[in-house]
Amino acid sequence: MFEAYYKSPIGNLRIISNERDIIEIQFTKEFFKMQMIPVQIQNCITQLDEYFRSERKKFSVGVNPIGTEFQGKVWHELSKIPYGKTISYLEQAKQFSDEKAIRAIATANGQNPIPIIIPCHRVIGTNGKLTGYAGGLLKKQWLLEHEGALQQKTLFH
């Protein structure tokens, strides 16, 4: 396992990888300057920089999130939500042909180990309200505004 830290406009991120793929991104208050950053993490940092400068709308960095088979299916579907678009948890459940699975799907979204790259921030409540985000609702709102999915700009501190 390898790790490095990244200062993003919405706070510090701890990026964790195996030899090839990103396996986790965590929001953290910590920041450690790393002398040597593995190529797979450096590639991720480059793509995050491009995303935050509005130069990248789709990530191509290799990811390998660790979770159950069900979680993997949910996270795979999250990856299909286009930049600047949102869907509701109900719409996401309908993709699985099971509206009753809405809570299980929402739970899997909340356990997404690779936020931003696997864009769980693009899932909102059926009523259009922002709900649940591991990094907090202000970060979710900032990301959606950054992508143009929400109009009002939030000042993030």
Structure tokens at 145: 């505004």
Residue 120: active-site member: yes
Q: For residues 72 and 107, give the distance between their C-alpha atoms in angstroms, rounded to a whole number.
A: 12
Print burial letters for 48-77: b (CB count within 10 Å at least 16), e (below 16).
Answer: beebbeeeeeebebebebeeeeebeebbeb
CA dihedral 27, 31, 35, 41 (to 10 degrees): 10
Active-site option among 4, 120, 143, 149: 120
Containing H/E element for 76?
A: helix 69-78
Q: What value, to the nearest 5°, has the Cα angle with vertex 119 and ends 133 and 146? A: 85
In terms of Cβ atoms closer than 10 Å to its own Cβ (0-12, 13-18, 19+), residue 153 is: exposed
Q: Report, as residue numbers or ranges, the catalytic residues.
A: 120
